[in-house]
């Protein structure tokens, strides 16, 4: 049976990326070598790296005064590297859930860390808005999309201090004005690549603010200066990332994927709002296009395991909600086809019919 991959991450990638990476493992671009076994100092890999940089730059419309690095680890690596590099006196964080909290925890080790806004009061079901941003912060850190709670910043923030954003789970899914951010980073394993590589887009002037004597691998200048080649980069993951960017460009870039993501999300949110058995968990205006969270409606709670089983029997993968929210989560990343959302909607409708609704 056809599987519909709603995994929260690592998650679905475009079919063409599977085809190209599988082929490149057997023979990379006619070199007679596997992509797993080429030198990261070869001209073939230089080209992959250069393409990754130029494609991301083009697709996100990244201004020239930003540097891009692709390094190993995960967003969790940047959680401590961001304050290690940039927290000299005081940093501000917006607490929108688990990932934001993890970033806050690491920052505290490096200096004063102020939570300037939080949605913890309502289990992170919304994005705080209209809060004051102290002008003396080294930076303000936000998490643009919150996978566990299904909330997302729908607009870029205006801020008197540099904004640093974890965009692990919504990079390239909707338009963002990069010039409003001092740094954007994330793990690549949602919209960009398989797990094992991170991206960071850093405004050049930020690098002049680094004051600590940091381990070479932790200092962002190391990776900027060496074009992400200070040490052996995760070659395969970067190649897959490049092919994902090529796919995104081929279908029309961010404008087209945004249209598709809106369409997919509307299909599913409409069903959630219409179907008497289900109810969404996130505040409507902050609903994520990427992670769509819902639970059984009041009075139907006991049907949750049955729905999960039924959905599974219809080929749905990864729709169990995070334990902190419960219920269901359909992650609808860039590469998820509309057909998968339609299949899930059909599933919900049939389940309602089975229960006389």
Residues annotated within a binding site: 41, 75-76, 99, 147, 166, 189, 231-232
Q: Would you count residue 308 as binding its own copies (CB under 8 A)?
A: no
Q: Which of 52, 60, 87, 106 binds its own copies (CB under 8 A)?
A: 106
Cis peptide preceding 350, ω within 30 of 0: no
- Tell me whether residue 166 is one of the annotated catalytic residues: yes
Query: Closest approach of Cβ 255 to its own copies, in Å?
Result: 25
Q: Candidates 74-82, 143-151, 254-262, 283-291 — which segment interacts with its own copies by CB under 8 A?
A: 74-82
Lookup result for tokens 């806004």: 117
Single residue of 104, 240, 292, 325 touching its own copies by CB under 8 A: 240
DSSP codes, 90-121: EEEEEE-SHHHHHHHHHHHTTSEEEEEEE-GG
**Catalytic site residue from 53, 138, 170, 190:** 190
Known binding residues for L-glutamate are 41
Backbone angles phi, psi at 204, to 5 degrees: -50, -45
- Sheet containing strand 278-280, edge to edge, reads 278-280, 291-296, 328-331
Q: What is the DSSP letter of 174?
A: S
Q: Pick the stretch among 46-54, 192-200, 202-210, 278-286 that binds its own copies (CB under 8 A).
A: 192-200
**Is 190 an active-site residue?**
yes
| List 143, 151, 169, 189, residue binding its own copies (CB under 8 A) | 189
**Binding-site residues from annotation for pyridoxal 5'-phosphate:** 75-76, 99, 147, 166, 189, 231-232
- 3 state SS of 311: helix
Task: Give the nearer residue to its own copies in terms of CB position, either 126 or 239.
Answer: 239
Site string for its own copies, 256-295 (x = CB under 8 A): ----------------------------------------
What residues contact residue 61 under an 8 Å CB cut-off, 6+ apart?
178
* Candidates 53, 67, 99, 219; catalytic one: 99
| 3-state SS assignment for residue 2 | coil
Binding to its own copies by CB under 8 A, coded x per residue (else -) over 24-63, reads -xx----xxxxxxxxxx-----------------------
CA dist 146 and 321 (Å) reads 13
| Least distance between its own copies and beta carbon 35 (Å) | 8
Q: Residue 189 class from Cβ within 10 Å (0-12 exposed, 13-18 middle, 19+ buried)?
A: buried
- Residue 294 CB, nearest distance to its own copies (Å)? 19
Q: How far apart are CA 81 and CA 66, in angstroms?
A: 18
Strands (E), 96-196: 112-118, 139-143, 145-146, 151-152, 163-166, 183-187
Q: Give the separation between CA 324 and CA 241, rounded to whole angstroms.
A: 30
Active site (catalytic) residues: 99, 166, 190
The site for its own copies (CB under 8 A) is made up of 1-3, 5, 7-13, 17-19, 21-23, 25-26, 31-40, 72-77, 79-80, 84, 102, 105-106, 109, 187, 189, 194-197, 213, 215-218, 230-237, 240, 315, 317-318
């Amino acid at each position: 049976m056809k599987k519909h991959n709603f995994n929260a991450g690592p998650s679905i990638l475009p079919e063409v990326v599977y085809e190209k990476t599988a082929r490149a493992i057997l023979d990379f671009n006619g070199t007679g070598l596997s992509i797993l076994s080429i030198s990261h100092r070869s001209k073939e890999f230089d080209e992959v790296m250069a393409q990754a940089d130029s494609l991301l730059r083009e697709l996100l419309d990244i201004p020239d005064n930003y540097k891009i690095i692709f390094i190993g680890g995960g967003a969790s690596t940047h959680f401590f590297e961001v304050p290690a590099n940039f927290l000299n006196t005081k940093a501000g964080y917006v607490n929108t859930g688990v990932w934001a909290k993890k970033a806050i925890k690491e920052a505290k080790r490096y200096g004063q860390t102020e939570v300037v806004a939080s949605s913890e009061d309502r289990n992170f079901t919304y994005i705080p808005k209209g809060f004051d941003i102290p002008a003396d912060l080294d930076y303000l850190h936000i998490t643009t999309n919150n996978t566990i709670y299904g909330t997302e910043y729908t607009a870029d923030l205006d801020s008197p201090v540099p904004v640093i954003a974890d965009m692990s789970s919504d990079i390239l899914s909707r338009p963002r004005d990069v010039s409003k951010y001092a740094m954007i980073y994330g793990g690549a394993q949602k919209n960009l690549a398989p797990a094992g590589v991170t991206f960071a887009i850093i405004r050049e002037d930020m690098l002049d603010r680094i004051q600590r004597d940091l381990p070479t691998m932790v200092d962002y200048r190391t990776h900027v200066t060496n074009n992400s080649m200070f040490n052996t980069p995760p070659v395969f993951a970067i190649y897959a990332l490049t092919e994902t960017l090529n796919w995104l460009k081929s279908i029309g870039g961010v404008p087209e994927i945004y249209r598709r993501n809106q369409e997919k999300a509307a299909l599913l949110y409409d069903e959630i709002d219409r179907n008497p058995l289900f109810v969404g968990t996130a505040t409507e205006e902050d609903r994520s296009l990427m992670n769509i969270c819902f639970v059984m409606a009041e009075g139907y709670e006991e049907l949750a395991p049955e729905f999960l089983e039924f959905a599974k029997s219809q080929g749905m993968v990864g729709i169990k909600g995070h334990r902190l929210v419960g219920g269901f989560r359909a992650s609808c990343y860039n590469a998820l086809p509309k057909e998968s959302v339609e299949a899930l909607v059909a599933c919900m409708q049939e389940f309602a019919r089975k229960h006389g609704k």
